[in-house]
Structure 1
Amino acid sequence: MYKIGVIGERDSVLGFKAVGLDVHPCSQSDEAKKILHQLAKDEYAIIYITEGLAADMVKDIDKYKDSRLPAIIPIPGKEGASGTGMDSVRKSVERAVGADILFGGEK
């Protein structure tokens, strides 16, 4: 059975615990990097990470972009959405189906 984890600022991620996801609150990118690599090692299928932390971890996240697992998905944090998450989803969908179906192919 695959697991789903969430990494981010405490106020942003605690709600995910209510729906059964494994929550890993942290506010420092160094700590988040360690958690990310541990979750990947533990074969998590999906790892959500708040955009604020993801912005400081691009190289670490990119290590997994061509791997089947985990799928690493940026989500808005308590500061709101920056658009990074939607760009990531768009790129993932485009890579999977060969076209940008989210926006009709226009960017």
Structure 2
Amino acid sequence: MYKIAVIGDYDSIYGFATLGLSICPVKTTEEAKDKLRQLAGGKYGIIYITEAVAAEIKDEIAEYQEQTTPAIIQIPGVSGNTGAGVEGVKKTVEQAVGSDILFSEE
């Protein structure tokens, strides 16, 4: 069975521990890269990562985009929502479905 982890600054992710998720607070870009590699190589099927940290390690995240697992999903942190997480999910759904699911002809 796969596990779920959350990577980001401590203030943004500590609440996820109450849900039983593995929290991985990071302070530097190198720490974030190392933690992502470690989790992706383990038994983690879903890795949530704050948008701020994801922006710093885009190249590392891209290495896992074509793989089934782990699913790497961006979430807003305490610093606010940049929209990158929603855009990433939208792009993934577009690839899977073949069209823009939010497009409206009004």
The corresponding residue for 2:31 is 31
The corresponding residue for 1:5 is 5
Distance in 1 (alpha carbons) for counterparts of 2:70 and 2:104: 26
Residues 1-107 of structure 1 aligned to structure 2 (within 5 Å):
1-101=1-101, 103-104=102-103
Cα offset for 1:9?
A: 0.5
Distance in 1 (alpha carbons) for counterparts of 2:23 and 2:51: 15
CA RMSD, aligned part only?
A: 1.3
Q: Secondary structure at the match of 1:55?
A: helix
Number of equivalenced pairs: 105
Q: TM-score, normalised by structure 1?
A: 0.93
Distance in 2 (alpha carbons) for counterparts of 1:22 and 1:80: 22
Runs of 4+ in 1 over 2 A off after TM superposition: none
Q: Secondary structure at the match of 2:7?
A: strand
Alpha-carbon contact 1:44-1:70 (below 8 Å) kept: yes
Give per-residue Cα distances to partners, 1:9-44, cap 9 Å, x unaligned. 000000001011110011211101100000000031
Cα 1:105–1:96 shift into 2, 3 Å: farther
Unaligned runs of 5+ in 2: none
How many percent of aligned residue pairs carry the same amino acid?
50
Q: TM-score, normalised by structure 2?
A: 0.94
